[in-house]
Amino acid sequence: MSGGVDSSVAALLMQEQGYDCTGVTMRFCGAGDVESARNVADRLGMPFETLDLTEDFAREVIEGFVAAYEAGETPNPCIVCNREFKFRRLLEYAAEHDYAVLATGHYARTRYEAASERWQLLRATDTHKDQSYVLYGLTQAQLASVRFPLGEMSKPETRMRATEEGFDNAEKPDSQDICFIPDGDYGAFIEQWRGVTEAPGEILDEQGVVIGQHKGMARYTIGQRKGLEVAAGRPIYVIAKDPRRNTVTLGDETELYHQSLQARAVNWVSIAPTLEPLRALVKTSYRGAGSAATIHQREDGSLQVDFDEPVRAATPGQAVVAYKGDLVLVGATIDSVI
């Protein structure tokens, strides 16, 4: 229970399905969120526990986020948090305390397919709230033990149920930023985390000519247009970052389009791994609609994804997730673009 309306209604729905529930909050968010979760648990008459995972979260999520930015990537810490904390740690806690299942407020669905003997992850019914993209890291064992009560609901329906139950967080706004960087200033956060000011470096054009100075590579991301402080007489974008040379390269929007990508840290979700070429709709960002592509598993277990048409701003460090209809097939971390 995060303290938000989604997990609160998820708890309510599990109770209505006849489950004997305990609310659990991981303490790496603000204290106010913990109290909001406790208030809902009290209102529902369920026991409530907190797990202090502050140090583990700092080591595994925040440090990983900072290190990835320093390596020139654009990481998605929510995916790591989901995989390592909201599911792995909570399922370990559930097993230790003899709880049968773990329910969360994510918008996604699961089902068991007897023919393949596999659990499957599917998009939520509400495509505007679907969170399957950030859940691709779930394993078969985890999928067997999780429940997503909101998978068939829309966000307005969730808020309506919260209002009917008198939850004080019924109209609480959705979180739009990374929880540990609420102001969205990644560069300032990384400098504070490391205790040093990021080294400035050169801004280059497509030909490698120096056209300016950047204020630290972490302040730039692929596809960025605003805040570049370079007068070019035309729209220009960040098209590449080189951590070894500490350079940021700017260019035309056409330079952001790529035909293929390679990906690491692969998780086959709803289907077994296959060496056969796989046709799918592939998303390279949370909000993206997806693009038709062919997926190849390479001998080292990594993926190569070849798009029918070039895709814009596929970014190393972000997730690439493949779908067949609503079914999540496989996901991975983008390693490089071609």
- C-beta of residue 86 within 8 angstroms of C-beta of residue 240: no
25, 50 contact by CB (below 8 A): yes
Distances (CA, A) of 57 to 49, 54, 77, 132, 242: 18, 5, 10, 22, 28
Q: Is 21 a catalytic residue?
A: no
| CA–CA separation, 219 and 18 (whole Å) | 49
The C-alpha atoms of residue 133 and residue 304 are separated, in whole angstroms, by 18
Helix locations, the chain, DSSP H = 5-16, 31-44, 54-57, 63-70, 77-81, 90-96, 140-145, 155-165, 186-194
265: burial class by Cβ within 10 Å (0-12, 13-18, 19+)? Answer: middle
Catalytic residue check, 81: yes
φ/ψ of residue 307, rounded to 5: -85, 145
Between β-strands 247-251 and 201-204, what pairing exists: parallel, antiparallel or unpaired? parallel
Catalytic residue among 21, 29, 78, 81: 81
What is residue 337's DSSP assignment? E
Active site residues: 81, 179
